[in-house]
Amino acid sequence: MKRRSLAFRLLLANLIVVVIGAAALFVTARLLGPSLFDSEMTRIGQRYGWSQGGGPGRGDGAGPQANSIEEDLSDAFAGSLTVALLVAIGIGALASAGAAVVVSRRVVRPIDRMGDAVRDMAGGNYDHRVDEPSDRELAGLARDVNALGSALAASEERRADLVSDLSHELRTPITALDGFLEGLEDGVFEPEPEILAAMRSETRRMQRLTADLGNLSKTAEATFDLQRRPADLASVIAAASNGLMGAARSAQVDLEVADGPELPASIDVDRMGQVFTNLIGNAIRHTPPGGTVTVAGRSSGGTIEVTVSDTGEGIAPEHLDRIFDRFYRVDQAAPRSGGAGIGLTIARGIARAHGGDIAAASDGAGTGAVFTVTLPRTP
């Protein structure tokens, strides 16, 4: 089916409106004009003493002559009215058509520019931007197109970072495994338990990376397969904290878990353990020696709230809204400290799959940070 352009449709719609208006004007004028004219002629005749069929003080032919004059005037009026209406309709149609062309071009031209921008973005040119028209609705559409370009550019940048990060993360264990295998082949060392354990550690590192990528995909699609059951979230927090006590001691960071009440919730224990392991581990890594990481939980009404706070590096305001984005790095130049840098994205995805959320707060660089996990509380 052949599609008509928007400009043609706008022009056609304006012309239809003009034709309908002109037809209504013509019919109304032709129906009302003669009758109104006759009424006026009758009133004028009465003023001058005319009457149909003759009247007082008039000759015998005065009445017929007056009627003939009235009929001639009526015909002249009707003819003049018709000609005037046709001329007015013609001029109005031409003027309306010209105005419709101007208006349609004014509307369609910005849309065409936005279409060009979207096609460029689809082709990979995410820097294409369009000027905002003066019309409010079209200006809003232009802002949305520009925002789409910015989002696509940021996504492409993160994708490139992901490829670079994955290459780095995979290169290290692959290089180590290749070195172990080459040493075994050359007889530099024997397949002793220590060598095999080191090789197993590298394969597990790659397994963790692939598991993180799988979880990231589930986060994007909101398809976490949760094995939920009633549990005490405080016990999950304690287990995650105990598992990271060694890392905290190695980093010379005090890890404190505040005493608190039971936190009953319907959760996937393993998944929530993953969330708190990530948050507490991040806090330890970003806290300098001598600092403190504190974990505290409380319940209020139907909500459980757990905070993981630290006295570490803090987060600048411009990064707070983006640290949960996939592959986003606060310091692009800083080396990775393990993992693919997608733990916060996965952690928030797990929390939201439980009907909760994770929020970050910080007063700026050097002031520490607070991550707050909220979950529904079971009665």
Three-state secondary structure of 59-82: CCCHHHHHHHHHHHHHHHHHHHHH
Position 152 scores a pLDDT of: 85
Residue 163 belongs to domain with CATH number = 1.10.287.130
Task: Give the whole-angstrom CA distance, residue 155 versus residue 162.
Answer: 10
Query: Angle at CA 231, nearest 5°, toward 225 and 233?
Result: 95
Co-location of 216 and 239 in the same domain? no
pTM higher than the cut 0.85:
no
Task: Specify if 68 maps to a domain.
Answer: yes
Co-location of 368 and 290 in the same domain? yes
Co-location of 294 and 310 in the same domain? yes
What lies within 8 Å, CB to CB, of 110 at 6+ separation is: 130, 133, 135, 138, 142
Contact call for residues 42 and 52 (beta carbons, < 8 A) = no
CA 248 to chain centre: 40
Pair of tokens at residue 138: 């079209």
* DSSP states of 143-207: HHHHHHHHHHHHHHHHHHHHHHHHHHHHHHHHHHHHHHHHHHHHTSS---HHHHHHHHHHHHHHH
Position 58 scores a pLDDT of: 43
Closest CA to 130 of 119, 121, 117: 117
- Overall domain count for the chain: 3
Position 54 scores a pLDDT of: 43
Co-location of 249 and 217 in the same domain? no
Co-location of 13 and 76 in the same domain? yes
Task: Give the whole-angstrom CA distance, residue 324 versus residue 372.
Answer: 13
Which H or E run contains 353? helix 343-353
Task: Give the whole-angstrom CA distance, residue 210 versus residue 169.
Answer: 11
Task: Specify if 144 maps to a domain.
Answer: no
Report the amino acid identity of residue 28: T
Co-location of 235 and 213 in the same domain? no
Q: Is residue 94 helix, strand or coil?
A: helix
The alpha carbon dihedral of 296, 300, 302, 303 has a sign of negative
Position 252 scores a pLDDT of: 93
Task: Give the whole-angstrom CA distance, residue 248 versus residue 258.
Answer: 16
Report the amino acid identity of residue 332: Q
| Phi and psi angles of residue 361, each rounded to the nearest 5 degrees, phi first | -145, 145
What lies within 8 Å, CB to CB, of 76 at 6+ separation is: none
Which H or E run contains 310? strand 303-310
Query: Angle at CA 128, nearest 5°, toward 125 and 133?
Result: 155
Task: Give the whole-angstrom CA distance, residue 228 versus residue 375.
Answer: 13
Pair of tokens at residue 193: 């338990």
Task: Give the whole-angstrom CA distance, residue 156 versus residue 121.
Answer: 11
Task: Specify if 91 maps to a domain.
Answer: yes
Co-location of 175 and 191 in the same domain? yes
Position 232 scores a pLDDT of: 93
Position 279 scores a pLDDT of: 93
Contact call for residues 109 and 57 (beta carbons, < 8 A) = no
Neighbour tally for 178: CB within 10 Å: 11
Co-location of 196 and 293 in the same domain? no
Containing structural domain, residue 302: 229-376
Task: Specify if 203 maps to a domain.
Answer: yes
| Phi and psi angles of residue 358, each rounded to the nearest 5 degrees, phi first | -130, 135
Of the residues 187, 205, 221, the one at which a domain ends: 221
Pair of tokens at residue 343: 């733990």
Task: Specify if 130 maps to a domain.
Answer: no
Bridge pairing between strands 303-310 and 357-361 = unpaired
Co-location of 160 and 188 in the same domain? yes
Of the residues 167, 191, 221, the one at which a domain ends: 221
In eight-state DSSP terms, residue 229 is: E
Q: Is residue 297 helix, strand or coil?
A: strand
Pair of tokens at residue 178: 């290749």
Co-location of 327 and 196 in the same domain? no
Burial 163-173 (b: 16+ CB within 10 A, else e): eebeeebeeeb
Of the residues 122, 143, 175, the one at which a domain ends: 122
Task: Specify if 148 maps to a domain.
Answer: no
Residue 279 belongs to domain with CATH number = 3.30.565.10
Co-location of 113 and 21 in the same domain? yes
| Residue-by-residue pLDDT tens, the chain, 379 positions | 555 565 666 667 777 777 777 777 777 777 766 776 667 666 666 666 655 444 444 444 445 665 676 677 667 767 776 777 777 777 777 777 777 777 777 777 888 888 888 888 888 888 888 888 777 777 888 888 888 888 888 778 777 766 776 676 677 778 888 888 888 888 877 888 888 888 887 787 777 777 767 666 665 545 567 788 999 999 999 999 998 998 899 999 999 999 888 899 999 898 899 899 989 998 998 999 999 999 999 988 889 999 999 998 888 887 887 788 766 666 554 444 444 557 788 888 889 889 999 999 998 888 899 999 999 998 7
Co-location of 192 and 311 in the same domain? no
Position 336 scores a pLDDT of: 45
